[in-house]
Structure formats: C-alpha cells, structure tokens
Amino acid sequence: MPSPAVREARGAAVFAGSPGEGGERGVSPLCRGVDRGVAPPGKYCVVALGSNLGARLDILQGAVTAIAAIPGVTVTAVSPVYETVPVGGPAQPDYLNAILLARTTLPPRDLLRRLNEIEAAFDRVREVRWGPRTLDLDIIIYEGLTSDDPDLSLPHPRAHERAFVLVPWHDVDPAAVLPGHGLVAALLAVAGDGGIRRAQEELSLP
Ligand code: A4P
Ligand code: MG
C-alpha cells in the first residue's frame, strides 16, 4: 500500500504535465486507474531538496510545508526520500534528497527568492561551493523555460547527470521530460542509481 504522499504523487503526476506538452500528458503506467484531475493554475515546476546538516528529515519536511504555504504555489507531489553520497565539494556527511512537483503563478525569480528565504529560515550558510548545508532548494525546471543566467539557470545545469535528482523525479513522474535532455527515464539509465538508497522515512504534503 503506497504512502499518502506517494498516492498523492501518482495522482498529481497525471496532471503535472511536462514542458512542451501543454501541461497535459498521457497517463503513465504508475498512474493508471487514477482519475484525471484539473491542474492547479500556473506553470509546472520541479524543485529539488537536499540536506546534509542538522535534523535532515525534519528540515526537508519543514521545507515542503513552507513551500506549500507560499502564496501562488501549489505543491502537487512529493517524492520518496533518498540517502545519497555527496557529489563534488569537500568531505561532508551524506545527504537526504527529494524532489517536489508544483504549479506556480510566481515568475521564476520570485519563486527562487521565496525558496532562498526558506533556505535562510533553516539557517542555510554559504561558505564553500558544494559544501554541506542544512537546506538546498534548487529549481530544476520551470515549465519549458531555458536560461543561462548564473543567478537562475534553467533547467538546472547539472540535473541531467544527478541520480539524486533523477531517481526521485522518476518515482513521482515516470514520463517526466527534462527540457533539452529528454526523458528522465533515459537519463537515469545513463546516470545509474549508484550512491543513493531509498530511505524508510517519508515526507508528507500538508
Ligand atoms: N542558481 C542558478 N540556477 C539556479 C537554480 N535553477 N536553482 C544560483 C537554484 N539556484 C540557482 O547556489 C549558488 C547559486 O546558484 C545561487 O546564487 C543561485 O542564484 P547555492 O544554493 O548558493 O549553492 P550550491 O547549491 O552549492 O550551488 P550549485 O552550483 O547550485 O550546486 P549544485 O550543483 O546544486 O550542487 N550531493 C548530493 N548527494 N546531494 C546534493 O543535494 N548538492 C550539491 C549542490 C552538490 N552535491 C550534492 C548535492
Ligand atoms: Mg542551491
């Protein structure tokens, strides 16, 4: 019996849509039997969550709750949690990673600003690039938007090669597409799932 969060995720993935598909897509195998819902207003986006300092699970849950409370943001699905080996940066503790699907009426920069505020509320400190952090919130995609602005690169420039993004994303949306790179399922086949393992703990939607 899937958890409430995963049940919600499977339902949400039906209307989550993908860039270039007009926000609507066919029902993936995981979603069969789920009624098509009406998508909440706004643009489809995917946010990655990571924490490797402090009470990691509580922090991720707090972030999900805080993101869901942002005016103009509707969180439609939250993925399983993965314990992951750090990629890059200095020696540091393992991460907990997850992703969430959302729709938002906020422009991308406003969404990033709100996410940065949530990071700050969880005592995020920026000292070393790719260093340990209580909370990292990255926008992986914002509808089909592309940008090479260093302050907001879209899609996230390293998402296509990172199992800690691809695996949880694929869990909640097996038909997901990363603009410019193709199907997440195909990217996952190349990236592999080394260095990550499913955690027993789960996040819930408020
Ligand atoms: N920025 C640009 N594009 C975006 C975007 N799409 N979403 C800018 C969010 N921020 C974006 O971010 C640095 C700058 O990126 C900011 O000024 C922001 O405006 P940051 O959060 O201060 O620092 P960061 O996260 O260390 O930098 P970066 O380059 O985004 O790191 P990555 O590539 O996200 O890698 N290993 C595991 N296992 N799990 C992890 O979660 N995370 C990282 C961070 C490295 N290794 C990891 C993990
Ligand atoms: Mg970041």
Q: What is the pLDDT of residues 75-106, one digit of tens each?
A: 999 999 999 999 998 899 999 999 999 999 99
pLDDT of residue 130: 81
Per-domain residue ranges for the chain? 4-19+40-80+89-157
pLDDT of residue 126: 75
**Active site (annotated) includes residue 149:** no
CATH number for 4-19+40-80+89-157: choose from 3.30.565.10, 3.30.70.560, 2.40.110.10, 3.40.50.1000: 3.30.70.560
pTM above 0.95, yes or no: no
137 C-alpha to ligand 2 centroid (Å): 5
Catalytic site residue from 10, 56, 103, 138? 138
Cβ of 206 closer than 6 Å to ligand 1, yes or no, is no
Q: What is the pLDDT of residues 105-160, one digit of tens each?
A: 999 999 999 999 999 999 887 777 787 899 999 999 999 999 999 999 999 999 99
Q: What is the pLDDT of residues 8-60, one digit of tens each?
A: 333 333 333 444 333 333 333 333 223 346 788 899 999 999 999 999 999 99
CA dihedral 171, 198, 201, 114 (to 10 degrees): -60
> Does 66 have pLDDT greater than 60?
yes
How far is it, in rounded angstroms, from Cα 172 to Cα 9?
Answer: 5
